[in-house]
Structure 1
Amino acid sequence: MYLPINSMFPSCLDNVQPPEAQPSSSQSHPQMKFATLDWVPEHNLLLLLLAGWAFSLPLLESGSRHREIQQKVRVLEEGRGRDRKEMPPKTKEKGTKAGAQKKKRNAGADVEAESMRRLALLEKEVLQDRLALQRDEARRAKASEDQLKQRIKDLEAELEGARSEGKAIYAEMSRQCRSLQEAMQSRSRQLEEEVEGLREQLELCQREAEAAQREAKQALGERDQTLAQLRAHVADVEAKYEEILHDSLDRLLAKLRDVKPQWDGAVLRLHTRLKEQLRQFGLNPLDL
């Protein structure tokens, strides 16, 4: 991580922009160009800021440019120290000559101007390096942006394909759902018709069963009545036949009693004649 240049010079570098972002010469403002001595802060503070900023710059692949910037900052600090040592100390003695004081002031002004010039050159180089780094970062960011845009396009194409496939699947599923609903409705109507027909048949069968039960009950009643009548008739017939049979047997017995003497005489005569015939043949009737 490194500190941005705006954090190092918050009030001085607000208008400094990379070359790609700077406006054209006809529309640019003098304050929007690279830094000059018009806005340079106090020298010691500027040296400290430049030293800290140089160490906060990102390292390049080789690191040589970063080391070169650090070396320049150290050289500038050493030169600044030598300039301070070479500057004669201020004297408070009274009565010094005006020429000597003027010479010292001129020498101090020359040293200060040289230090400012070196500092401005170093700052310019640092800013140019910073802008070069920003250009590299901008190019890398542009390449990454192009890759991301291409990736987004690919993803959008995939998404569009997925949407098209999803729409096709949804349409197919909707069609199948409608066909299933129609089939279910048709089957439901058919089953309702079958249920209605079966209900009518059930009601008809129930009515027929009730009628059959009534007829069966009536037939059973008639059968019981007929059986009772037949039993009574059979009993009467049995009684009559029994009476007739007894009368017939009584008459037969009376007739048998009447003809028995005649049959007994005829049997006796027949028996005697048969015995005589056996004796004639020389047979004993008792042996038979």
Structure 2
Amino acid sequence: MSSRLSYKGYLISLVAFCLLVSMIYHQSLKKPFNKEDRIELTNGATKPPSAIQMRVNEIYNQIDQRMPRVTFAHKDNTTSATHSKVFIKNPQTRYCVGDQLTVRVDVYDYLGKRKTYGGDYLRSRISNPKTRAGSSGSIKDFNNGTYHIDYTLFWEGAVVVTVFLIHPSEAVSALWKARNSWYGYVEHEGKFIREGEEKVTKCGFALDTKEELCEYADHDNEEYFYCVKPQNYSCDSYAEFKNWKTSRSRLSQLEASLLDRSNVRVEIPVNFEAVNVVLCNNSHLEKKKNCAIGSDLEYPSGHVKEEIWYPKACTMKTYHSSEELNACLQGKFLYMYGDSTVHQWMTYFEGKLGKTLKPLNLYVNAWAHTHINVDFERNIQVVWKRHGRPFEFLYFMTVREEHSIPREIDFIGGDAHTVIALYIGVHFRFYPVHHFIRRLLNIRRAIERLHLRSPQTKVIIKTENTEMPPKSKAKSQQKKKVKKPKAGPGSVEEQFRKATLEVDILQDHLALQSQVTRQAQQRKQELRGKLQGLQEDIQDERDEKQALYSEMTRQHRDLKQQSSARIRDLEGEVAGLKLQLSNSQHAFQLLKDESHRITEEKEAEIEELKNQVESMETEYEQILHSSLDRILSNLALAGQRWAKEALTVHQQYKHMLQDCGLNPLDI
């Protein structure tokens, strides 16, 4: 029994040892990457924070200190636009072009109670719907429920003040806290391709998983991105990516109610009419120099009128014709980096200079791919590239073009013929703000490096798009009635003087009306030309949409066919794998039965050998006993014989001694 147990124990120990060795080997090949490893390598506790990280923390803390931190139990305790008040601070009887207009805003909650803290997100504009003029205001928060908004009166005529409550301070506080606490607003996926096969896994800036990760790092700029590593795929097979906004939120139901459409961008009532601005003798704006690099920044930085931007500190040239635009761009290499708002510039160039500026076919259908347009005759090159992740796009895009703006700038040598225009903003809104701060800081560092090697390179930084107040219908102007003097007694000279005065007034009025008529006719011609242009643009847009719809339909059909073929292939693979699994299970069962049979045979052999050993032990014991009995019998007989012989010898020696006269007892 003990022999059989030792044999089984040996087999079990051998199998366990093999399994242990196999597990240790595979674990050594598949050590997962985790966040702690990266922190230890980059910003671990054992190393001081880098200069970039310290600067990011400094800027973040400055912003964070200005953010409101308020809580509320009911919507009635939040800022209400309809209960708040807007009025002019220190109103004047007359305003001249170039003067400053200060507006005071006092905010109240829904219960009509004055707010005692600030932090509300206000947006204000002055505008003239008739001339399509507009400008922003500088808002000062006194942190007690009162705000001052300062405007520069840039144009002559009516100035309409509009103040919007975009978000109350309670919503700003909740949004700031939620934004910087997680990455759940956007989902990322990466596609890995290997030998015609592909695998899609989860990606992101911070993945909470114990799976093995692929790290895609920009160590110089300290920016990192991760994807779950597919089994049997290398990290270098990462080929495409996509991302989309989710419906998840960390806001409570009460906080989310403040973000309903009816509670966002609500106009605060203004208790005064439009301000009339006149051109005074001493109010004209001083003559400005042409805009150039290095000009001081001001806020507000200018105003828009008739869809043309007029900077405050300098004079900007406007190009109306394609010839002027071509002359400006001749010999220039223009690099544009950003999102769809900068892509509109590329669309404008393609539409305005389409006869001479030709696009290169890069064989990519998505709009977010690189666009390159060239004019070989004038030596013009215009390039647009997306600004790199984060970049929200619902379809898979290649990662071959995935370079951040700092990296792209580092690739440019730069010279007097190079112009760089860049913008980031919208695609960073769904991520913690430190990503935006870090990218801006890295862009600044890249521009500084660029200007060290090429101070002549021009860099244009585009800010976020802002919205103007909705166009309102212009108030109908009331015609002033000229009161005719009543007939009365008087001298002929008096009547003639009055008649002459009336004639002069009528002539002035006629001249004014003629001028107005000429301006109206000129404006009519301009509007007719613009209308024709808009109609052509609409038709082009319709054709483009139709072509886009046809292309999308074709792509959908192709994708459906590819999906169907892929599904059939996968079903075939599944059937083959099922067959292989069935065969493997059958072979395993046969092997198991064979092993069981062999084990039984070995146990039977061991039992038989044991029986043989026991029978042999019995036989050997019998032989040993019989041999010992015979030996003992022989020894007894020999002892008796030797005893007799010894007695005989003793008697003989005794007689011999006596014969010699010796006493045997004395010896």
Normalization by structure 1: what TM-score?
0.47
Q: Which has the higher helix share?
A: 1
Q: Which has the larger radius of gyration?
A: 1
Normalization by structure 2: what TM-score?
0.22
